[in-house]
Amino acid sequence: MVATRALRTLLIALCCLSTPLSAEVRVSAVALFKGKAMLNIDGHQHMLKVGETSSEGVTLIAADPTRVRISIAGSIRDLKLDTRIGGALGKVPENTIVRLVPGRHGHYFSDGQINGNPIRFLVDTGATSVAINKNMARQIGLQYQVDGQRGLVDTANGTVAAYRVIFDEVKIQALTLKRVPGVVLDGDSPSEALLGQSFLNRLDIHRQGAVLELRAR
């Protein structure tokens, strides 16, 4: 936690210097347990724990032996054993809503993409920018040392180079934004890709209980 707070401060100082989904996703409940469920999603079985999201964009919000609650296509739906629902996840409608439930340690995570490459995000409202480390940048083929603007920052692992960049596209589930400012730290931090304010401040954000809603403007 100390390292995370320090990294947020460093990102603020430095910045001061989704492949389309299919048209219809079908979901049925195969087996129900306390805190997890086996779901059949478009013919593929997924064992999800509460807070996890499948590759098809289905998030398990709550589960017990009688029913589950999921988020699909921007809406929250309840399922009983062997019942089936569908959700249109292809075209992104106006005012799309993505709903996230807290994962480990109360943090919000979401599968997403940077420049069309899959990546796992930690939603961090305290980070100024979308931020990734050098290994993530290399995995997605980002030439940050060539295209980025270099600076130096101090981290828990010492002083490292950091590069301000522009991501062509950042996506979480059905929400896609173009030309998103970001930062690449030329080290191993942050350990999770941070979904910071350069993405979040272009959305409307609301909290309903434990559920975090991200709404397209």
Other CB atoms within a 10 A radius of the CB of residue 117 amount to: 14
> Are residues 158 and 110 part of one domain?
yes
> Are residues 74 and 124 part of one domain?
no
> Are residues 122 and 39 part of one domain?
no
> Three-state DSSP class for 98?
strand
Tell me the residue range of the domain where 58 lies: 25-87
> Are residues 78 and 106 part of one domain?
no
The total number of structural domains in the chain stands at: 2
Q: pLDDT tens across 35-94, in order?
A: 898 888 887 888 899 988 887 788 889 888 888 888 876 678 888 876 666 654 444 344
Q: Are 114 and 105 in contact (CB under 8 A)?
A: no
Q: pLDDT tens across 21-43, in order?
A: 334 678 888 888 888 988 888 87
